[in-house]
Protein backbone atom coordinates (compact mmCIF):
# COMPACT_ATOMS: atom_id res chain seq x y z
CA UNK A 1 0.00 0.00 0.00
CA UNK A 2 1.41 3.38 -1.01
CA UNK A 3 1.67 6.18 1.62
CA UNK A 4 -0.92 8.96 1.54
CA UNK A 5 -0.25 12.00 -0.63
CA UNK A 6 1.24 14.82 1.45
CA UNK A 7 -0.38 17.57 -0.62
CA UNK A 8 -3.80 16.01 -0.14
CA UNK A 9 -3.22 15.68 3.60
CA UNK A 10 -2.28 19.35 3.80
CA UNK A 11 -5.31 20.47 1.78
CA UNK A 12 -7.65 18.31 3.80
CA UNK A 13 -6.39 18.90 7.34
CA UNK A 14 -4.43 22.15 7.60
CA UNK A 15 -7.40 24.32 8.62
CA UNK A 16 -8.49 22.00 11.42
CA UNK A 17 -4.90 21.68 12.65
CA UNK A 18 -4.40 25.44 12.46
CA UNK A 19 -7.61 26.20 14.40
CA UNK A 20 -6.84 23.51 16.96
CA UNK A 21 -3.38 24.97 17.52
CA UNK A 22 -4.75 28.50 17.63
CA UNK A 23 -7.13 27.52 20.40
CA UNK A 24 -4.42 25.59 22.20
CA UNK A 25 -1.87 28.40 22.04
CA UNK A 26 -4.18 31.41 21.79
CA UNK A 27 -1.93 32.95 19.17
CA UNK A 28 -2.50 33.18 15.43
CA UNK A 29 1.14 33.62 14.51
CA UNK A 30 2.31 30.80 16.77
CA UNK A 31 -0.44 28.54 15.45
CA UNK A 32 0.63 29.26 11.89
CA UNK A 33 4.24 28.56 12.71
CA UNK A 34 3.31 25.30 14.43
CA UNK A 35 0.98 24.26 11.59
CA UNK A 36 3.86 24.58 9.17
CA UNK A 37 6.06 22.51 11.49
CA UNK A 38 3.31 19.86 11.74
CA UNK A 39 3.09 19.44 7.97
CA UNK A 40 6.85 19.49 7.54
CA UNK A 41 6.93 16.56 9.95
CA UNK A 42 4.09 14.92 8.03
CA UNK A 43 6.09 15.21 4.81
CA UNK A 44 9.25 13.91 6.46
CA UNK A 45 7.59 10.92 8.08
CA UNK A 46 4.96 10.08 5.48
CA UNK A 47 6.83 6.98 4.31
CA UNK A 48 6.64 5.53 7.81
CA UNK A 49 2.91 6.20 8.08
CA UNK A 50 1.17 3.04 9.26
CA UNK A 51 -2.12 2.12 7.66
CA UNK A 52 -3.64 0.90 10.92
CA UNK A 53 -3.55 4.41 12.32
CA UNK A 54 -6.21 6.79 11.00
CA UNK A 55 -4.88 9.75 9.05
CA UNK A 56 -6.57 12.31 11.27
CA UNK A 57 -5.29 10.70 14.47
CA UNK A 58 -1.80 10.51 13.02
CA UNK A 59 -1.76 14.19 12.03
CA UNK A 60 -3.21 15.37 15.35
CA UNK A 61 -0.70 13.22 17.22
CA UNK A 62 2.03 15.03 15.31
CA UNK A 63 0.35 18.38 16.10
CA UNK A 64 0.25 17.45 19.76
CA UNK A 65 3.95 16.50 19.73
CA UNK A 66 4.93 19.68 17.89
CA UNK A 67 3.04 21.75 20.44
CA UNK A 68 4.56 19.86 23.37
CA UNK A 69 8.06 20.36 21.93
CA UNK A 70 7.42 24.08 21.52
CA UNK A 71 6.01 24.46 25.01
CA UNK A 72 8.99 22.65 26.43
CA UNK A 73 11.34 25.03 24.66
CA UNK A 74 9.62 28.24 25.72
CA UNK A 75 7.58 29.60 28.55
CA UNK A 76 3.83 29.28 28.08
CA UNK A 77 2.10 32.19 26.34
CA UNK A 78 0.21 34.45 28.74
CA UNK A 79 -3.57 34.40 28.55
CA UNK A 80 -3.96 38.07 27.43
CA UNK A 81 -2.71 37.60 23.87
CA UNK A 82 -5.01 34.70 22.98
CA UNK A 83 -8.08 36.45 24.19
CA UNK A 84 -7.36 39.46 21.98
CA UNK A 85 -6.80 37.20 18.98
CA UNK A 86 -10.09 35.46 19.53
CA UNK A 87 -12.04 38.65 20.05
CA UNK A 88 -10.67 40.14 16.86
CA UNK A 89 -11.82 37.11 14.89
CA UNK A 90 -15.19 36.47 16.44
CA UNK A 91 -18.39 37.68 14.84
CA UNK A 92 -19.81 40.65 16.76
CA UNK A 93 -22.82 38.67 18.03
CA UNK A 94 -20.65 36.06 19.69
CA UNK A 95 -17.79 38.28 20.87
CA UNK A 96 -18.69 38.19 24.57
CA UNK A 97 -18.92 34.40 24.45
CA UNK A 98 -15.73 34.16 22.41
CA UNK A 99 -13.79 36.14 25.00
CA UNK A 100 -15.17 34.22 27.93
CA UNK A 101 -14.79 30.93 26.08
CA UNK A 102 -11.13 31.52 25.31
CA UNK A 103 -10.46 32.50 28.89
CA UNK A 104 -12.27 29.44 30.17
CA UNK A 105 -10.47 27.20 27.68
CA UNK A 106 -7.10 28.52 28.78
CA UNK A 107 -7.88 27.49 32.35
CA UNK A 108 -8.70 23.87 31.48
CA UNK A 109 -6.14 21.16 32.18
CA UNK A 110 -4.15 20.44 28.97
CA UNK A 111 -5.50 16.90 28.58
CA UNK A 112 -9.10 18.04 28.75
CA UNK A 113 -8.57 21.05 26.54
CA UNK A 114 -6.83 19.10 23.78
CA UNK A 115 -9.43 16.31 23.80
CA UNK A 116 -12.28 18.82 23.76
CA UNK A 117 -10.72 20.87 20.95
CA UNK A 118 -9.85 17.80 18.90
CA UNK A 119 -13.53 16.92 19.10
CA UNK A 120 -15.05 20.36 18.57
CA UNK A 121 -12.52 22.00 16.27
CA UNK A 122 -10.87 19.00 14.62
CA UNK A 123 -14.04 16.92 14.36
CA UNK A 124 -12.29 13.78 15.62
CA UNK A 125 -14.27 10.90 17.12
CA UNK A 126 -13.44 9.42 20.53
CA UNK A 127 -11.36 6.62 19.02
CA UNK A 128 -9.35 9.03 16.92
CA UNK A 129 -8.78 11.30 19.90
CA UNK A 130 -7.71 8.30 21.93
CA UNK A 131 -5.19 7.31 19.23
CA UNK A 132 -3.88 10.85 18.94
CA UNK A 133 -3.47 11.27 22.69
CA UNK A 134 -2.31 7.75 23.50
CA UNK A 135 -5.34 7.16 25.71
CA UNK A 136 -8.45 5.00 25.64
CA UNK A 137 -11.76 6.01 24.06
CA UNK A 138 -13.32 6.02 27.54
CA UNK A 139 -10.65 8.41 28.76
CA UNK A 140 -11.34 10.67 25.76
CA UNK A 141 -15.06 10.60 26.54
CA UNK A 142 -14.46 11.57 30.17
CA UNK A 143 -11.97 14.32 29.31
CA UNK A 144 -14.42 15.89 26.90
CA UNK A 145 -17.23 15.57 29.40
CA UNK A 146 -15.17 17.19 32.17
CA UNK A 147 -14.11 19.97 29.81
CA UNK A 148 -17.75 20.66 28.95
CA UNK A 149 -18.72 20.77 32.60
CA UNK A 150 -15.85 23.09 33.46
CA UNK A 151 -16.62 25.41 30.55
CA UNK A 152 -20.28 25.40 31.44
CA UNK A 153 -19.41 26.23 35.01
CA UNK A 154 -17.05 29.01 33.93
CA UNK A 155 -19.44 30.56 31.43
CA UNK A 156 -22.58 30.08 33.47
CA UNK A 157 -25.62 28.39 31.95
CA UNK A 158 -27.62 31.54 31.33
CA UNK A 159 -24.67 33.29 29.70
CA UNK A 160 -23.84 30.58 27.16
CA UNK A 161 -27.45 30.12 26.13
CA UNK A 162 -28.15 33.85 26.02
CA UNK A 163 -25.90 34.49 23.03
CA UNK A 164 -27.66 31.91 20.85
CA UNK A 165 -30.58 32.69 18.62
CA UNK A 166 -33.45 30.18 18.50
CA UNK A 167 -32.25 29.08 15.05
CA UNK A 168 -28.77 28.30 16.44
CA UNK A 169 -30.29 26.23 19.22
CA UNK A 170 -32.42 24.22 16.85
CA UNK A 171 -29.46 23.43 14.52
CA UNK B 1 -20.19 3.03 29.73
CA UNK B 2 -21.00 5.29 32.65
CA UNK B 3 -24.69 5.97 33.15
CA UNK B 4 -24.19 9.49 34.50
CA UNK B 5 -26.88 11.43 32.58
CA UNK B 6 -24.54 14.25 31.56
CA UNK B 7 -21.87 11.84 30.35
CA UNK B 8 -24.51 10.17 28.19
CA UNK B 9 -25.70 13.52 26.84
CA UNK B 10 -22.15 14.65 26.17
CA UNK B 11 -21.43 11.46 24.19
CA UNK B 12 -24.75 11.82 22.37
CA UNK B 13 -23.78 15.38 21.39
CA UNK B 14 -20.61 13.95 19.86
CA UNK B 15 -22.45 11.39 17.76
CA UNK B 16 -20.98 8.50 19.73
CA UNK B 17 -23.10 5.39 20.23
CA UNK B 18 -25.26 5.55 23.35
CA UNK B 19 -27.77 2.99 24.56
CA UNK B 20 -31.34 4.17 23.84
CA UNK B 21 -32.40 3.32 27.40
CA UNK B 22 -29.54 5.32 28.86
CA UNK B 23 -30.37 8.26 26.59
CA UNK B 24 -34.04 8.13 27.57
CA UNK B 25 -33.10 8.14 31.25
CA UNK B 26 -30.57 10.94 30.73
CA UNK B 27 -33.13 13.14 28.99
CA UNK B 28 -35.49 12.74 31.93
CA UNK B 29 -32.83 13.69 34.47
CA UNK B 30 -33.18 17.10 36.15
CA UNK B 31 -31.23 19.76 34.24
CA UNK B 32 -30.79 17.61 31.13
CA UNK B 33 -32.42 20.15 28.83
CA UNK B 34 -30.28 23.01 30.15
CA UNK B 35 -27.15 20.90 29.88
CA UNK B 36 -27.87 20.00 26.26
CA UNK B 37 -28.49 23.66 25.43
CA UNK B 38 -25.25 24.69 27.12
CA UNK B 39 -23.30 21.99 25.27
CA UNK B 40 -24.84 23.19 22.01
CA UNK B 41 -23.98 26.79 22.87
CA UNK B 42 -20.35 25.81 23.45
CA UNK B 43 -20.28 24.14 20.06
CA UNK B 44 -21.81 27.19 18.40
CA UNK B 45 -19.27 29.42 20.14
CA UNK B 46 -16.38 27.41 18.73
CA UNK B 47 -17.96 27.05 15.30
CA UNK B 48 -17.79 30.84 14.90
CA UNK B 49 -14.04 30.55 14.41
CA UNK B 50 -13.31 31.24 10.75
CA UNK B 51 -9.64 32.04 11.25
CA UNK B 52 -7.29 31.02 8.46
CA UNK B 53 -3.54 30.90 8.16
CA UNK B 54 -1.91 33.59 6.04
CA UNK B 55 -0.92 32.96 2.40
CA UNK B 56 2.67 32.68 3.62
CA UNK B 57 1.92 29.24 5.02
CA UNK B 58 0.51 28.10 1.67
CA UNK B 59 3.50 29.47 -0.21
CA UNK B 60 5.93 27.73 2.14
CA UNK B 61 4.07 24.43 1.99
CA UNK B 62 3.62 24.60 -1.79
CA UNK B 63 7.37 24.87 -2.10
CA UNK B 64 7.94 21.85 0.15
CA UNK B 65 5.22 19.75 -1.42
CA UNK B 66 6.18 20.43 -5.03
CA UNK B 67 9.83 19.68 -4.26
CA UNK B 68 8.80 16.39 -2.77
CA UNK B 69 6.58 15.60 -5.74
CA UNK B 70 9.41 16.48 -8.15
CA UNK B 71 11.82 14.30 -6.23
CA UNK B 72 9.67 11.25 -5.76
CA UNK B 73 7.55 11.20 -8.88
CA UNK B 74 9.87 9.81 -11.63
CA UNK B 75 11.00 6.67 -9.77
CA UNK B 76 7.51 5.85 -8.66
CA UNK B 77 6.08 6.59 -12.11
CA UNK B 78 8.83 4.51 -13.77
CA UNK B 79 8.02 1.51 -11.58
CA UNK B 80 4.31 1.92 -12.30
CA UNK B 81 4.95 2.06 -16.04
CA UNK B 82 7.25 -0.99 -15.96
CA UNK B 83 4.66 -2.94 -14.01
CA UNK B 84 1.94 -1.93 -16.48
CA UNK B 85 4.06 -3.10 -19.46
CA UNK B 86 4.77 -6.46 -17.81
CA UNK B 87 1.09 -7.00 -17.00
CA UNK B 88 0.07 -6.09 -20.56
CA UNK B 89 2.66 -8.45 -22.08
CA UNK B 90 1.54 -11.30 -19.84
CA UNK B 91 -2.10 -10.65 -20.77
CA UNK B 92 -1.31 -10.76 -24.52
CA UNK B 93 0.76 -13.97 -24.16
CA UNK B 94 -1.99 -15.54 -22.06
CA UNK B 95 -4.66 -14.65 -24.61
CA UNK B 96 -2.56 -16.11 -27.44
CA UNK B 97 -1.89 -19.36 -25.62
CA UNK B 98 -5.59 -19.72 -24.75
CA UNK B 99 -6.54 -19.21 -28.39
CA UNK B 100 -4.08 -21.89 -29.52
CA UNK B 101 -5.32 -24.22 -26.81
CA UNK B 102 -9.00 -23.94 -27.75
CA UNK B 103 -8.91 -23.41 -31.52
CA UNK B 104 -5.67 -25.08 -32.60
CA UNK B 105 -3.27 -23.38 -35.00
CA UNK B 106 -5.94 -22.68 -37.65
CA UNK B 107 -6.13 -23.99 -41.29
CA UNK B 108 -2.73 -24.54 -42.90
CA UNK B 109 -2.98 -23.89 -46.63
CA UNK B 110 -0.30 -24.69 -49.22
CA UNK B 111 1.63 -21.78 -50.63
CA UNK B 112 0.63 -20.26 -53.92
CA UNK B 113 2.30 -21.84 -57.03
CA UNK B 114 4.99 -19.68 -58.53
CA UNK B 115 5.70 -21.89 -61.66
CA UNK B 116 4.21 -24.96 -63.39
CA UNK B 117 6.32 -28.02 -64.27
CA UNK B 118 4.89 -30.65 -66.62
CA UNK B 119 6.07 -34.29 -66.68
CA UNK B 120 5.40 -36.60 -69.62
CA UNK B 121 4.55 -40.25 -68.70
CA UNK B 122 7.00 -42.69 -70.23
CA UNK B 123 9.52 -39.90 -70.75
CA UNK B 124 9.98 -38.25 -67.43
CA UNK B 125 8.92 -41.21 -65.34
CA UNK B 126 8.15 -44.92 -65.80
CA UNK B 127 5.61 -47.13 -64.08
CA UNK B 128 7.09 -49.60 -61.62
CA UNK B 129 9.70 -47.22 -60.28
CA UNK B 130 13.25 -46.62 -61.34
CA UNK B 131 14.87 -49.35 -63.45
Q: What is the C-alpha to C-alpha distance for residues A8 and B112, in angstroms, rounded to an integer? A: 65
Give the phi and the psi of residue A121 in degrees, each rounded to 5.
Answer: -100, -40
- Reported as a single tens digit per residue, the pLDDT across A58-108 is 999 999 999 999 988 876 555 444 544 544 444 444 456 677 888 899 999
Q: Which residue of A has its CA nearest to B31?
A: A157
A16 touches chain B (CB under 8 A): no
**Predicted local distance difference test score (pLDDT) of residue A83:** 46
How confident is residue B49, by pLDDT bands cut at 50, 70 and 90? Answer: confident
Tell me whether residue B20 is exposed, middle or buried, using C-beta atoms within 10 angstroms of its C-beta: 0 to 12, 13 to 18, 19 or more: exposed
Q: Would you give the end-to-end CA distance of chain A in angstroms?
A: 40
- DSSP of A75-132: PPPPSHHHHHHHHHHS-GGGHHHHHHHHHHHHTS-HHHHHHHHHHHTT---HHHHHHH
Residue A158 has pLDDT above 60, yes or no: no
B79 touches chain A (CB under 8 A): no
How confident is residue A161, by pLDDT bands cut at 50, 70 and 90? Answer: very low
Helices then strands, each counted (H, E), chain A:
10, 0
Question: CA nearest A107: which of A48, A162, A30, A26?
Answer: A26
Give the phi and the psi of residue B120 in degrees, each rounded to 5.
Answer: -100, 125
Give the phi and the psi of residue B130 in degrees, each rounded to 5.
Answer: -65, 145
Instruction: List residues bridging with B121 in a β-sheet.
Output: B125
Is A68 inside any structural domain? Answer: yes
Q: Which residue of B has its CA nearest to A144?
A: B10
Which residue range forms the structural domain that includes residue A165? 6-170
Is A46 inside any structural domain? Answer: yes
Q: Do A35 and B42 touch (CB under 8 A)?
A: no
Q: Do A121 and B46 touch (CB under 8 A)?
A: yes
Is A1 inside any structural domain? Answer: no
Residue A119 has pLDDT above 50, yes or no: yes
> Domain ranges in chain B?
5-47, 57-101
CATH assignment of the domain containing A137: 1.20.140.160
Which residue among A36, A91, A120 sits closest to B43, beta carbon to beta carbon? A120
Q: What is the C-alpha to C-alpha distance for residues B28 and A74, in angstroms, rounded to an integer? A: 48
* pLDDT, average across residues A145-159: 85
Total number of domains constituting chain A: 1
Residue A114 has pLDDT above 60, yes or no: yes
Residues of A whose CB is below 8 A from B56? 32
Is A29 inside any structural domain? Answer: yes
Interface test with B, best of A123, A160, A165 (most B CBs within 10 A): A160
Q: Would you give the end-to-end CA distance of chain B in angstroms?
A: 112
Interface test with A, best of B34, B35, B41 (most A CBs within 10 A): B41
Q: Do A141 and B11 touch (CB under 8 A)?
A: yes
Residue predicted with more confidence, A147 or B104: A147
Residue A5 has pLDDT above 60, yes or no: yes
Q: Do A6 and B68 touch (CB under 8 A)?
A: yes
C-alpha A4, offset from chain centre: 23
ipTM above 0.90, yes or no: no
Amino acid sequence: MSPPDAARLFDQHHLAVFRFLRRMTGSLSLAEDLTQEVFLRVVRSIDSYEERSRETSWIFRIARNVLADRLRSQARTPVDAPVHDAVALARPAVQPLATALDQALSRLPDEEREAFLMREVGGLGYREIAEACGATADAARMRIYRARLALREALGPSRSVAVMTPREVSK
Amino acid sequence: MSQDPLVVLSAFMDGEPVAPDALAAALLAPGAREALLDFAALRAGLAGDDSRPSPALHRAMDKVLSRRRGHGWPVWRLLQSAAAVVVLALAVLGAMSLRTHFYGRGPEEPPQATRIIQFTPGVDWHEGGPQ
